[in-house]
Amino acid sequence: MALFPAFAGAAQPGEPIAGCSKGSTRELDWLSNPSFSAEDALLLHQRTTEVADLIPEKSPLVRTTSRFELSEENDTDESLKQTSKKRKKKKHHHSKKTKRKTKGDSSSSESDVDTKHIKDKGSGKRSEREAAANLGKKASNVTSSRSIWLDDIQAPTADTFRIDKKPDPANWAYKSLYRGDIARYKRKGESCLGIDAKKHCITWDSSASKRKQVQSRPERYFTKSNVKMLNTDGILVCNKNSPSDSPAFIPVSQVETDDSSDTTEVNPLGIYDQSTTVWLQGKGCKSADSGSVNTQQTTQEPGINMNSILMTKVEEHNKKVRENPRDINAWMEFISFQDELMRGPSLYASSGEQELRRKSLKLILEKKLAILERAIESNPSNIDLKLARLKLCTEFWEPPALIKEWQKLIFLHPNNPEMWKKYLLFCQSQFTTFSVSKINSLYGKCLTTLAAVQDGSMVSHPLLPGTEEAMLAIFIQQCHFLRQAGHSEKAVSLFQALIDFTFFKPDSVKDLPTRGQVEFFEPFWDSGEPRIGEKGARGWKAWMHQQEKGGWVVLKPDDEDDEEIDEDQEIKDKTLPKWHIWLDIEYSREARHWLPWRPDKAKKETEEDCEDPERQVLFDDLGPSLIRLSNPRLQHQLLYSFLQFLGVPCTSKPFPSSLYVAMDENNIFDSVLYDDKPLTSVDFPLSGFSSIGHMDTMLRGRHQIGHCKEGEEFIQNVFQVLSQIFTGKEKSNLAICWLQYEISKVIQCLQAKKKKKLKAQGRKSKKLAKNFLKAPDNRNNLCLWKLYAYLEWLLGNTDDARKVFDTALCTAGAGGLKSAQLCSLSLLYAQLEVELLESIEGAVMSRAVHILTKLTENGPYVPYSGQVLSVNVLKARKTYEHALQDYLSKTPVSDQDQVNDTDQLVNLVGCYALFQYLTVGIDAAVLIYTQASEKLEASGSQKCENTGENFGILNFPTALEAVTLLHTNLLRFHMKISVYPLNPLREALMEALKRYPSNQSLWRSYIHIQRKSHSASKARRFFDNVTRSSNSLEPWLFAIQAEQMRKKLTEKVQRADVGEIHCTIPETGLTNRIVALFEHAVQSENGTHCPLLWRMYLNFMASLGKKEKSKGLFYKALQNCPWAKVLYMDAVEYFPDDLQETLDLMTEKELRVRVPMEELDLLLEI
């Protein structure tokens, strides 16, 4: 049988072909295979054909193959499976088999031939058709079995082949053939296979690994391997022992060999490395293993260097805590060091483990916790370590478990007020366990326990220093907590009760312990007698005396027409949305109903007549919180805290522990009269703190000036009652606070441009000021004269104000520069006159110079006549210079003298600098401020700061801080009326803010001058430095405000609302920057529980239109400040569809809801 169908006519061996010679026959011998049995092949083909005929045709597709060579040794189906496995194994030797085929090796064994899968590609289509036809004729009789035997094939021929009619379903399911059936080589050329092996050219595909290497791209900087490389420290370029002066170039360290004399012959220039030099010497090079080890050490040298440094630090910390386990600072430093340690590679892991090691936060916390537990074992009585452990455990434990740990700690240290403060703040900020009644009772328990420690009834624990002051701070924090939760009546009642309990205490109960005094106070509170702020209030002491004599004589009260707002009139427009109406009514009732409800005996009212039971305050709600204050300074602090709570501006500030927790109003950025009057711009000390009765949303803002009629009467009664208690200076201070409150309402009218309201308020304020000055004790009080004149100036009565100023200066006498009040009066008068000037030219002859000149003369004041003598100007300059030197070199004797001297020095520097500005120029004035600041900074500014920590009425700003304010205000005014560079003002503000990062006035000035700058990079770097170095929250707040102002300016210039985009300011990513600032701020220690910060964040996200993110942020804010009612009211405005859900949440947490939804539905139906 012929090997190839195309040469089927070739003669078999031994049979000569007709017409051919012997030579031609020998040339065709390679076409025949003597070892090939045609009969066996035909039988095998017949068997396979019968199997194919038995399978039904399911597809029109028919797969044909030219020839199949099957094994003779295996006749079963299992043998066929084994043969297919052998084929797969022999694919790897495909190239070798191809060579054997091309050589025509006929000596192959029969089994080898059977296992080869030969595809005849030389056969033409014509021969295939003929073979298929012959096979169909000869294979007509087949059995029913799937297996076909060679013996069953009838009349086998040489051209018998198999037709495979079984379809492959995979070709339908997939888009391409199975990759194992596709040849891995590509032919080049068109030569026929088997003719000339030299002409064959086959290209094999590359392996998968090589293809992956070709397709792999260079890794970016953020990949895991590159980030790990960036985290490792580099090799130190210069020696640490080298001098500090940096050289002109970086020297390259030379590698010195051990035997330098032998290498000079082969390496005379020193340009070969060590391995090349050794090879040139004929010596054997190091083994590959040692070379790879050296290479590995070289590549790991940065990690080794860093490991050695970190290892040294670890040993040092361990040595410190081992040798001195009582050193708390060493333990704290060791705990803080864990953050630095985890940033580097592991010290105790191999190189492979270092790559797989994950530096998770949990790992750091667990290490810190283990160190803290060791520290607590060595210091079981230390509280700081225990507080640090509890703070750390907040990341691991659930709130109930944490509360139990806190309770254990409080049980062990019930006399520690600082621990109580942290415990109260922790419980107050746990959303899952929070409710107003629980927290309020917890405040009462805290104050009761500390009062027992103060009385000495708790013998097991001694009284710690500063406990009384801490108790007052906790009490004020409780009042602000109730105000923020909406329970204004309870907060006001707490203040009323403690003021009565402190200032009107009968002499007969003063020697009793605190709880005994509270028991005597309860009958007075429940008797229905007028309390502080109510008409006819006489106090607890007078009530006790009168009870001993037989009670009060009830007088018939005057009939007064009380203006009551009908409940039906609360809804002004029913067409508004439901949520809008709810907000209006809630705000209206919050402003009118912040006073506790008392039954009116004249109208025969009882407690059952109260429509809202929440407005009644029982003694059980406030009895546990009553404390005993024996320090006069703390008693005054209580009064001024109450006035501040009511919205009266005073110099007292909240305690630092409750400073940012009570900050919830957005007026911290308001600069009243900032641009119009730079020298006399008003800075309210209450910025950021909402007063009672004002609970406005962020979008609405405050639109009510002062309080309602009942509220104003209440404040007036409070001032009248307190004025009866004090005499002398304290009484005048109360009068000053009262008049400042009236002036603040005038300024609010000016800011809101309400002329009608301004006129009525002006008449009322002027009447009050005149009544004060008519009193015999206040006729010579220059502070009241100054406020009255300033009031006239604000109302626009400039001539009347000048008359008041001149009258006050004439009656002041000849105190001169030695009188602090006279200097303050003259400084304000001169500043108001300077603000009227349009330019500095000709200012030498102005009224302001006359005022400042007359201040230096010891004679009586003479009103301005239109001219100022030059001689008087020269004398005044010399007098100012000598007076300033005397005060800078003066040493205060006591703290009180120091405070007085501080006030006097500030006024003196302000007068002298303003005088130099008007007579010489701005540079001379700046020089005065610079000299005074340097002297104050070098000669005891730290002591002044310590004095300023007192929280009474004497809490003036430090001298350096006040001088800086005067300095910056003068520079702002000069820039307004003339051309002057911005850099001196910016530098002065930056230096001051580094010292006083919590001064809101300085921050307002800074962001106002920075808003005009085209580039914000310098301001951003400054904000970043201050926030890193300070724990104050003001830098974060003003940094966010500065970016928001810049965003508004950019949008205004681009006119995005109109649709026109003008890219004039190259600002991108402002939104992301602001969000990042918010995220960093809320993660800070003081910002986590600040309601104002969360309100600003929520307002910003809502302004972007991201409702889902804003809603998620709202719930995140509740996790940290669940007591702040203003957050819920903001959410009602941002998410009006969730009104019912928000009200249900407020009810669940027991926040004050004055308008339930059921009542609102009834009001809408009327």
Quick: pLDDT tens for 1010-1026. 887 777 889 999 999 99
Q: Cα dist. 867→450, 845, 848, 853, 864 in Å? A: 66, 5, 11, 12, 7
First to last CA, the chain: 113
Q: Return the exposure string of 956-977: e unless at least 16 CB atoms fall within 10 Å of the residue's CB, then b.
A: bbbbbbbbbbbbbbbbbbbbee
Q: In this model, does residue 171 exceed pLDDT 50? A: yes
Using alpha carbons, list the distances in angstroms from residue 827 to 902, 911, 1001: 16, 6, 19
The yes-or-no verdict on residue 999 having pLDDT over 50 is yes
* 843 burial type by CB count under 10 A (0-12 exposed, 13-18 middle, 19+ buried): middle
Q: Is the confidence at residue 27, as pLDDT, over 70?
A: no
Within a 10 A sphere around the Cβ of 487, how many other Cβ atoms? 26
Residues paired with 32 in a beta bridge? 2
The C-alpha angle 460, 465, 468, rounded to 5 degrees, equals: 95
Q: Is residue 433 over pLDDT 50?
A: yes
Are 534 and 714 in contact by the 8 Å Cβ rule? The answer is: yes
Alpha carbon distance 361, 359 (integer Å):
7
> Rounded to whole angstroms, what are the CA distances from 919 to 119, 331, 811, 826?
114, 61, 27, 17
Average pLDDT, the chain: 76
Residue 120 in tokens:
């005849």
Pairing of strands 163-164, 185-187: unpaired
Torsion of CA 952, 956, 958, 959, to 10 degrees: -140
Helix H or strand E segment including 203: strand 202-204
Handedness of CA 1136, 1141, 1147, 1151 (dihedral sign): negative
Which of the four pLDDT bands, split at 50, 70 and 90, describes residue 65? very low
Helix (H), strand (E) counts: the chain: 49, 4
Q: What are the tokens at 574? A: 């029913």
Cβ contact 543:1093 at 8 Å = no
Q: Residue 1034 contacts by C-beta under 8 Å, 6 or more apart in sequence?
A: 997, 998, 999, 1000, 1003
Show contacts of 588-593: CB within 8 Å, 24+ apart: 589/1154, 589/1155, 590/486, 590/488, 590/693, 590/694, 590/695, 590/1154, 591/693, 591/694, 591/704, 591/707, 591/708, 591/711, 592/565, 592/693, 592/708, 592/710, 593/488, 593/489, 593/1154
pLDDT tens digit sequence for 210-245: 555 555 677 787 787 777 777 665 655 555 454 445
pLDDT at 682: 65
| Percent above pLDDT 90 for the chain | 22
**b/e string for 659-691 if b means 16 or more Cβ within 10 A?**
bbbbbbbbbbbebbebeebbbbbbbbbbbbbbb
In angstroms, rounded to a whole number, what is the distance separating the alpha carbons of residues 565 and 588? 10
Residues 777-812 have pLDDT tens digits of: 888 888 999 999 999 999 989 999 999 999 998 888
Q: Which residues of 602-649 form beta strands (DSSP E)?
A: none
pLDDT tens, residue by residue, 441-488 = 999 999 999 999 998 888 888 889 989 999 999 999 999 999 999 999
Q: Per the structure block, which two tokens stand in for 441? A: 């009772």
The phi and psi torsions of 186 (rounded to 5 degrees) equal: -130, 130
The Cα 780–Cα 260 span in angstroms is 97
In this structure, what token pair is assigned to residue 100?
């054997």
State how beta strands 202-204 and 63-64 pair.
unpaired
Residue 983 CA to residue 992 CA, distance in Å, equals: 14
797, two tokens = 């009565």
**Which CA distances in Å does 997 have to 128, 542, 1030, 1034?**
97, 48, 7, 7
- Of the two residues 816 and 10, the one the predictor is more confident about is 816
| Contact indicator for 1094, 1120 with CB cutoff of 8 Å | yes
Residue 1006 pLDDT > 70: yes
Angstrom distance (rounded) from CA 417 to CA 466: 9
| Region at 332 (left for phi over 0; alpha for psi -120 to 50; beta for the rest) | alpha
CA-CA distances (angstroms) from residue 497 to 523, 532, 632, 1127? 12, 8, 18, 29
Q: Among 54-58, 77-81, 690-694, 1100-1104, which stretch is predicted with the lowest mean pLDDT?
A: 77-81
Mean pLDDT calculated for residue range 567-592 = 81
- Model pLDDT, residue 1081: 93
Q: Would you say 962 and 908 are in contact if contact means Cβ atoms under 8 Å apart?
A: no
Contact present, 743 and 783 (Cβ < 8 Å): no
How confident is residue 967, by pLDDT bands cut at 50, 70 and 90?
A: very high
Structural tokens at position 1164: 């809408």
SS3 163: strand
pLDDT tens-digit readout, 100-116: 444 444 443 343 434 33
Please state which of the ranges 260-264, 580-584, 1027-1031, 1115-1119 shows the lowest mean pLDDT.
260-264
Min mean pLDDT across 318-327, 574-583, 1059-1068 is at 1059-1068
CA dihedral 1062, 1068, 1074, 1076 (to 10 degrees): 170
CA distances from 915 to 223, 322, 679, 984 (A): 65, 64, 14, 20
Q: What percentage of the chain carries pLDDT values higher than 70? A: 70
The string of pLDDT tens digits covering residues 76-101 is 444 444 444 444 444 444 444 444 44
Joined tokens for residue 98: 């191809």
In contact, 1079 and 1058? CB cutoff 8 Å: no
Query: What kind and span of H or E run contains 515?
Result: helix 514-526
Residue 123 has pLDDT above 50, yes or no: no
**Phi then psi for 605, rounded to 5 degrees?**
-85, 150
Of 6-10, 544-548, 558-562, 1043-1047, highest mean pLDDT: 1043-1047
What is the average pLDDT across 993-1001?
88
d(CA 273, CA 264): 13
Q: Are residues 15 and 119 in contact, defined by beta-carbon separation less than 8 angstroms?
A: no
Q: What is the 3-state secondary structure (H, E, C) of 347-375?
A: CCCCHHHHHHCCCCHHHHHHHHHHHHHHH
Distance, CA of 752 to CA of 767 (rounded, Å): 23
Strand partners, 2: 32
Q: Which two tokens stand for residue 853?
A: 């000149």
pLDDT at 1093: 93
Mean pLDDT of 362-381: 85
pLDDT of residue 939: 61
Element housing 164 (H / E): strand 163-164
**DSSP-assigned beta bridge partners for residue 64:** 163
721-769 pLDDT, tens digit each: 988 888 888 888 889 999 988 998 888 888 888 888 888 888 999 999 9
> pTM for the full model?
0.72
- What pLDDT, on a 0 to 100 scale, did the predictor assign at position 267? 76
Distance in angstroms (rounded) separating the CA atoms of residues 426 and 424 = 5
Other beta carbons within 10 Å of 458: 16
Task: Provide the pLDDT confidence category of residue 533 given band limits of 50, 70 and 90.
Answer: confident
Q: Give φ, ψ of 72 to 5 degrees.
A: -85, -25
